[in-house]
């Protein structure tokens, strides 16, 4: 339990250092949570008008142990023209990324390639977004395996 708290605190501290760096970006840095498989802290750093770095520090409840720590980061592209809404923005996003899984029980740590596809609603003023995603994941170590993860979440953006 101490290990979880220590890693969560360190990850949160690192994520909170990004707002000063991201002020030059049009939409800033967002911090919130994701619930699903896995569940944890979610961050998003806009790198341009349609691209962002989407990351999470989360824990898995599937597999042999309920203490698997996931560190993941994805480069995502947003299509703002596919769906339109009267207020806010509703982009579809897709991307590629990586996941490192630390198996606290069996010791079978793993590395995987992620292919996120999702939908985000950015409220008017871009301070909050709500998102849902499905993430096909190809585990490449210690064994090759294919899985589908996903979740829903919410983030607050610091501009």
Q: What is the pTM of this model?
A: 0.80
Map out the domains of the chain with their CATH numbers: 2-19+26-158 (2.40.160.20)
Contact 53, 78 (CB under 8 A): no
In whole angstroms, give the CA distance from residue 51 to residue 83: 17
Q: Over its length of 159 residues, how does the chain's per-residue pLDDT go in tens digits?
A: 444 444 444 444 444 444 433 333 356 999 999 999 999 999 999 999 999 999 999 998 776 556 789 999 999 999 999 999 999 999 999 999 999 999 876 677 899 999 999 999 999 887 999 999 999 999 999 889 999 999 999 999 997
In whole angstroms, give the CA distance from residue 11 to residue 118: 24
């Amino acid at each position: 339990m101490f290990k979880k708290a220590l890693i969560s605190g360190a990850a949160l501290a690192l994520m909170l250092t990004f707002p000063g760096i991201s002020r030059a970006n049009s939409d800033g840095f967002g911090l919130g949570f994701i619930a699903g498989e896995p569940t944890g802290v979610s961050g998003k750093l806009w790198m341009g008008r349609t691209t962002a770095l989407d990351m999470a520090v989360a824990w898995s409840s599937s597999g042999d142990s309920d203490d698997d720590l996931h560190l993941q980061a994805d480069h995502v592209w947003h299509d703002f023209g596919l769906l339109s809404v009267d207020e806010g923005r509703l982009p579809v996003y897709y991307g590629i990324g990586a996941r490192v899984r630390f198996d606290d029980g069996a010791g079978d740590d793993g590395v995987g390639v992620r292919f996120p596809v999702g939908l985000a609603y950015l409220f008017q003023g871009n301070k909050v977004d709500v998102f849902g995603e499905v993430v096909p994941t190809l585990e490449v170590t210690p064994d090759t395996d294919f899985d589908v993860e996903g979740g829903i979440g919410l983030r607050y953006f610091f501009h």
